[in-house]
């Protein structure tokens, strides 16, 4: 038997805000819709920014990409702030358990010395790459257009700070909290020849002006290749060497990439499907950045995983691109 | 080997502060191009003291807990039709102003802090701005969700996304934040992080949230409690920015002082709408605007500026003028909205007799002398069936965009009006403060999108005011605007409560 609590019902005057009625009809809106659509100011800005006097404060012309409606970029995860932090809180709880277990059992002790050295050479310096990703996504959030996209960029930017901090914690686990592993890793990032092409590219990305191009460079091309190499292929290589416990410390990154790629792929697909002009533009950007990123990753991936790794990562990238309509 | 214990500061430094590096390949100034044009000198970003040391994992954890509790209350609120528990339907009009006027500011704060969170060269300052940016987005979205239920039962909320870019009095708030965001990153931080968040935020936050608490609005007050710890973080960032800029280089002192002068004045003008809300729109009063100003600015702000004196910073330039204004601005502002009630996206009304007495008691120096007679007159007209609406469009101040409604403070019967000439055109101002702000940066303020000018130029439809209100502002005439008496809001409330 089910018990039904009697409540008094009042007929509402309207179901939702007028902008959502116009978009979706007069029916109750989801919290994602209420928190996303049309909330960015669109017209009648008062002053041109001193830092970009040719444009309005919020201006769709900061990218060459053109959209009829910038709110077409619906996030398949439907992240607004509340759903975003709750989803990440679940992931961090899991990560916290993993890091806690690793620390409590002192699993660093079981790592072969050669692996410890490798982690400092390959995994820990990646935190600087993640820091670049943090800045690039903040860039897209602040110069991008339409809350549907800009909020997702902000979440991505903050995620990358989180990943950089997790990678730093791996360093601290290795050096017993002295910070020596982090220093050593930074020195390698600054000086080791196999990191320099990637560092050069990171610095150059930070001067890229078109924000959608930067999204292509960072979130599509760079992340696809980096996460494949460092968190999939390298994880498998560590397992081969008896260092599978590191997988606990990078589980967050794999889960994160899986979650985020759903959104990245959706954005790409929507932008490409919008018009032939967009498709041409994006194809050009992909071509240019695919080449540059591959070149920048070539030395470090060879050093870390051998000759074939990068090709495999590139093949996976191409598969994703094909699904979005780019061959 | 036992791992070394790290304190919070060391841990935060290792996890965060060391992520950036010296560039070798690209020009770092091209990656962070906006650090120099304002004249601010930063000699050493490493001297930045992190105002709070929150790593992302802790941030997600704490904020998710807060969100979970907040949304549980929102759900319970709407499930139980808790809008019926507010003190009086007039109260709802205060939160109509909140959604249409304040929530868009939170959005601009998100955008502004995202900008500085990308552009500052120091990683510590950047990350603090990024977190504030995310918090501000939280505030936008939780406010929309808090108001969502009210929108289902009351008028005046539904077109907030459209109104924010068009309606004359909302232009006051929008231009304030546009002004801050169109400046460089350091001015933005002094304007918003320090002047607004650190010093004036209590005068927005406390009145609205306490107003909600006093008037049975559980949704809004729960948002307020939930946002409090975010606000505390924002305030420490605002203070750190000031100290950092002043300690970095002595040449920064006059620049920062100029911004403090400007932004206190701009802020106090923006707050006139809060003043009117506190004194006139809350059926259950929290405190008078004058009392609020005395507690939160004169006492708290006074102590702060004493503390900043050692850096060579003095009280904001117009503090004395603002001290006089606290006796007047709420009355002058509500009177203006009352007389332009057809052009307001919320309802207006004449205070009840008890409320008039409360105002007399709270404003013994001014209310009976200058303002009560106006309301007695309005009551008389209303009783005769001649509720008065002013149909002419007012002259707006070029800087703050408020109509010229304030008087000379030494003669409250005389409207204040200042002029300035720039490149052959004449510009009008409500005060010396606004005139001075204009004259510092005329190239900026001649661009102002002034709603009345725009109407006269035919950019807002028309030809008459009714068409502009209906078509350009998307007001539903008589439902979103005009007097509380006879409004659908009032009729529905009576129906729900079963009173005639």
What residue ranges do the domains of chain A occupy? 75-323
Cβ(B121)–Cβ(B36) below 8 Å: no
pLDDT band at B272 (very low <50, low <70, confident <90, very high): very high
The minimal CB distance from B107 to the residues A40, A154, A168 is found for A40
- Point out the residue among B28, B55, B118 whose CB comes nearest to the CB of A165: B55
Q: Residues of B numbered 152-171 whose beta carbons fall under 8 angstroms of chain A's beta carbons: which are they? A: 152-155, 157-162, 164-166, 171
Min Cα distance A327 → chain B (Å) is: 31
User: B80 — contact with chain A (CB < 8 Å)?
Assistant: yes
Number of A–B residue contacts, CB under 8 Å: 255
Q: What is the dihedral of CA B118, B124, B128, B129, to 10 degrees?
A: -30
| Two tokens, residue A228 | 């494949």
Sign of the Cα torsion B127, B129, B131, B133 reads negative
Nearest CA to CA, how far is B138 from chain A (Å)? 6
Cα-based angle A271, A275, A279 (whole degrees, multiple of 5): 65
CATH number of this structure's domain B48-490: 1.10.620.20
Burial B383-394 (b: 16+ CB within 10 A, else e): eeeebeeeeebb
Task: Give the separation between CA B20 and CA B373, rounded to whole angstroms.
Answer: 64
* CA–CA min distance A32, chain B (Å): 9
Half-sphere exposure of B353 (CA within 13 A, CB side): 0
Alpha-carbon gap: B366 to the closest alpha carbon of chain A (Å): 36
Cβ within 8 Å of residue A85, ≥6 positions away: B59, B60, B63, B64, B67
At residue A1, the pLDDT reads 61
pLDDT computed for residue B1 by the predictor: 53
Q: What is the pLDDT of residue B319?
A: 92
Q: What are the tokens at A289?
A: 């950045």
Residue with tokens 């330039």: B317
B429: which strand partners?
A: B418
Q: What is the DSSP letter of B200?
A: I
Give the minimum alpha-carbon distance from B220 to chain A in angstroms, rounded to a whole number: 16
pLDDT of residue B197: 87
Nearest residue on chain A to B138, alpha-carbon basis? A81
B498 touches chain A (CB under 8 A): no
Cβ contact A203–B444 (<8 Å): no
* Closest-CA residue of chain A to B35: A51
Tell me the shortest Cα–Cα distance from B90 to chain A, in angstroms: 18
Of A14, A46, A85, the CB nearest to B60: A85
Tell whether B453 lies on the interface with A, counting CB pairs under 8 A: no
Both tokens assigned to B244:
């950092």
Report CB contact under 8 Å: B26, A172.
no
pLDDT tens track for B48-103: 999 889 999 999 999 999 999 999 999 999 999 999 999 999 999 999 999 999 99
Q: Is B491 on the interface with A (CB under 8 A)?
A: no
Q: Return the domain boundaries, chain B.
A: 48-490
Indicate the average pLDDT of chain B. 95
* The pLDDT of residue A4 is above 90: no
Long-range contacts of A24-29 (CB under 8 A, 24+ apart): A29/B148
Give per-residue pLDDT as tens, A252-267.
Answer: 999 999 999 999 999 9
Angle (CA) A226-A231-A236 rounded to 5° is 125
- B123-132, B294-303, B382-391: the lowest-pLDDT one: B294-303
Is the pLDDT assigned to residue B159 strictly greater than 60?
yes
Terminal-residue alpha carbon distance, chain A: 58
A177 contacts on B by Cβ (under 8 Å): 3-6
- Taking only the tens place, the pLDDT of each residue in B292-350 is 999 999 998 889 999 999 999 999 999 999 999 999 999 999 999 999 999 999 999 99
Measure A21 CA to nearest chain B CA, in Å. 10
**So what's the pLDDT on residue B101?**
96
**Can you tell me the distance from the alpha carbon of A282 to that of A285, in angstroms, rounded to the nearest whole number?**
5
The average pLDDT across A228-250 equals 97
Facing A96 at nearest CB: one of B3, B57, B151: B57
What's the pLDDT at A7? 67
Q: Is the confidence at residue A3, as pLDDT, over 90?
A: no
pLDDT (average), residues B160-185:
98
Q: Do A82 and B141 touch (CB under 8 A)?
A: yes
CA-to-CA dists, residue B358 to A83, B125, B287, angstroms: 45, 46, 10
Task: Tell if the CB–CB gap between A47 and B144 is shorter than 8 Å.
Answer: no
The answer to whether B32 and B119 are in contact (CB under 8 A) is yes
DSSP string, A220-234: IIIHHHHHIIIIIIH
Band (B185; pLDDT cuts 50, 70, 90) = very high
pLDDT value of residue B198: 85
CB B6 within 8 A of CB A177: yes
Pairing of strands B418-422, B425-429: antiparallel
Instruction: Name the closest residue on chain B to residue A96, using Cα atoms.
Output: B57
DSSP string, B335-375: HHHHHTGGGSSS-B-PPPHHHHHHHHHH-TTTIIIIIHHHH
Q: Is the pLDDT assigned to residue B4 strictly greater than 90? A: no
Residue B463: cis peptide before it, omega within 30 degrees of 0: yes
What's the pLDDT tens digit per position in A187-212? 999 999 999 999 999 999 999 999 99
pLDDT at B206 over 90: no
Helices (H), B183-285: 185-188, 202-214, 218-248, 252-270, 272-276
For chain B, say whether A18 makes contact (Cβ under 8 Å).
yes
Q: Does B179 touch chain A (CB under 8 A)?
A: yes
Interface test with B, best of A8, A12, A111, A138 (most B CBs within 10 A): A138
Q: Do B130 and A134 touch (CB under 8 A)?
A: yes
- State how far residue B3 is from chain A, nearest Cα, in angstroms: 4
- Taking the C-alpha atoms of residue B449 and residue B436, their distance in angstroms, rounded to an integer, is 19
pLDDT in tens, B473-489: 999 999 999 999 999 99
CA distances from B264 to B105, B190, B484 (A): 17, 10, 33
Alpha carbon distances (Å) from A11 to A160, B151, B476, B496: 45, 13, 20, 10
B184-201 b/e (C-beta count within 10 Å ≥ 16 → b): bbbbbbbbbbbbbbbbbb
What was the pLDDT predicted at B2?
A: 66
Given a contact cutoff of 8 angstroms between Cβ atoms, the answer to whether B151 and A16 are in contact is yes
Question: What tens digit of pLDDT does each residue of A108-165 get?
Answer: 999 999 999 999 999 999 999 999 999 999 999 999 999 999 999 999 999 999 999 9
Question: What tens digit of pLDDT does each residue of A66-84 get?
Answer: 999 999 999 999 999 999 9
CA distances for B127 relative to A205, A214, B8, B53, angstroms:
19, 20, 16, 10
Topology of the domain comprising A75-323 = Ribonucleotide Reductase, subunit A (1.10.620)
Contacts with A, B 217-256, CB within 8 Å: none
Q: What is the pLDDT of residue B331?
A: 98
- Residue B142 contacts A, CB cutoff 8 Å: yes
Would you tell me which residues 201-220 of chain A have a C-beta closer than 8 angstroms to some C-beta of chain B? 203-204, 206-207
For residue A9, pLDDT beyond 80: no
Q: Report whether pLDDT(B18) > 80.
A: yes
Average pLDDT, chain A: 97
Residue A52: closest CA among chain B residues belongs to which residue? B182
As given in the structure block, the two tokens for residue B113 are 């802090």
């Amino acid at each position: 038997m089910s018990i039904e609590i009697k409540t008094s019902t009042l007929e509402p005057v309207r179901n939702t805000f007028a902008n959502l009625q116009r978009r979706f009809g007069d029916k109750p809106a989801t919290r994602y819709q209420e928190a996303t659509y049309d909330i960015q100011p669109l017209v009648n800005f008062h002053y041109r920014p001193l830092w970009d006097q040719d444009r309005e404060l919020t201006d769709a012309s900061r990218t060459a990409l053109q959209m009829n409606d910038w709110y077409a970029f619906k996030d398949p995860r439907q992240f607004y702030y509340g759903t975003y932090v709750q989803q990440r809180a679940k992931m961090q709880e899991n990560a916290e358990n993993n890091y806690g277990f690793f620390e409590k059992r002192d699993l660093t002790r079981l790592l072969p010395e050669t692996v410890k050295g490798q982690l400092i050479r390959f995994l820990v310096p990646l935190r600087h790459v993640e820091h670049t990703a943090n800045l690039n996504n903040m860039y897209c959030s602040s110069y991008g257009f339409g809350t549907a996209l800009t909020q997702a960029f902000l979440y991505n930017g903050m995620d990358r700070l989180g990943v950089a901090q997790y990678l730093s914690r791996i360093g601290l686990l290795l050096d017993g909290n002295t910070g020596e592993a982090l220093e050593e890793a930074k020195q390698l990032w600054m000086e080791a020849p196999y990191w320099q092409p990637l560092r050069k590219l990171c610095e150059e990305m930070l001067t890229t002006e078109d924000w959608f191009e930067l999204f292509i460079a960072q979130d599509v091309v760079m992340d696809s290749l980096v996460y494949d190499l460092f968190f999939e292929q390298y994880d498998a290589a560590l397992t081969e060497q008896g260092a599978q416990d590191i997988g606990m410390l990078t589980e967050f990154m794999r889960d994160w990439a899986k979650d985020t790629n759903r959104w990245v792929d959706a954005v790409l697909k929507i932008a490409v499907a919008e018009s032939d002009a967009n498709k041409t533009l994006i194809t050009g950007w992909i071509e240019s950045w695919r080449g540059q990123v591959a070149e920048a990753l070539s030395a470090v991936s060879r050093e870390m995983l051998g000759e074939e790794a990068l090709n495999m990562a590139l093949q996976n990238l191409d598969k994703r691109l094909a699904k979005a309509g780019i061959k | 080997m036992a791992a070394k214990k790290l304190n919070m500061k060391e841990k935060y430094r290792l996890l965060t502060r060391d992520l950036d590096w010296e560039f070798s390949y690209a020009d770092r100034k091209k990656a962070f191009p906006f650090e120099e044009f304002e004249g601010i000198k930063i000699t050493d970003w490493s001297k930045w003291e992190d105002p709070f040391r929150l790593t992302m994992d802790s941030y997600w954890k704490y904020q998710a807990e807060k969100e979970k509790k907040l949304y549980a209350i929102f759900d319970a609120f709407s499930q139980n039709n808790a809008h019926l528990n507010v003190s009086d339907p007039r109260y709802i009009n205060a939160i109509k102003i909140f959604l249409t006027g304040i929530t868009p500011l939170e959005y601009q704060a998100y955008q502004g802090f995202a900008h500085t969170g990308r552009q500052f060269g120091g990683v510590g300052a950047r990350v603090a701005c990024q977190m504030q940016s995310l918090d501000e987005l939280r505030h936008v979205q939780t406010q929309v969700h808090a108001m969502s239920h009210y929108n289902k039962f009351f008028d005046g909320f539904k077109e907030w996304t459209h109104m924010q870019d068009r309606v004359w009095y909302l232009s006051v708030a929008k231009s304030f934040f546009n002004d801050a965001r169109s400046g460089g990153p350091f001015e933005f931080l002094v304007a918003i992080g320090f002047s607004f968040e650190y010093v004036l935020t209590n005068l927005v936050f406390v009145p609205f949230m306490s107003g909600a608490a006093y008037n049975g609005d559980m949704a809004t007050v729960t948002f307020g409690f939930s946002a409090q710890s975010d606000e505390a973080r924002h305030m420490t960032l605002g203070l750190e920015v000031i100290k950092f800029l002043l300690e970095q280089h002595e040449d920064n002192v006059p620049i920062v002082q100029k911004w403090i002068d400007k932004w206190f004045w701009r802020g106090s003008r923006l707050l006139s709408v809060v003043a009117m809300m506190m004194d006139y729109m809350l059926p259950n009063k929290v405190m008078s605007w004058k009392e609020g100003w005395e507690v939160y600015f004169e006492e708290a702000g006074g102590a702060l500026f004493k503390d900043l004196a050692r850096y060579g910073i003095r009280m904001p330039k117009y503090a004395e003028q603002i001290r006089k204004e606290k006796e007047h601005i709420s009355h002058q502002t509500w009177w203006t909205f009352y007389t332009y009630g057809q052009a307001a996206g919320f309802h207006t009304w004449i205070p009840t007799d008890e409320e008039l007495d409360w105002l007399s008691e709270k404003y013994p120096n001014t209310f009976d002398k200058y303002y009560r007679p106006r309301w007695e007159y309005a009551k008389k007209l209303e009783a005769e069936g001649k509720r008065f609406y002013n149909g002419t469009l007012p002259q707006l101040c070029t800087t703050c965009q408020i109509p010229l409604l304030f008087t000379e403070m030494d003669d409250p019967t005389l409207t204040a009006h200042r002029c300035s000439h720039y490149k052959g055109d004449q510009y009008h101002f409500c005060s010396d403060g606004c005139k001075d702000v204009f004259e510092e940066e005329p190239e900026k303020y001649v661009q102002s999108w002034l709603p009345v000018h725009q109407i006269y130029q035919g950019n807002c439809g028309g030809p008459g005011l009714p068409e502009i209100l209906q078509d350009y502002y998307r007001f539903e005439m008589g439902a979103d605007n005009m007097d509380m008496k006879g409004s659908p809001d009032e009729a529905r409330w009576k129906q729900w409560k079963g009173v005639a």
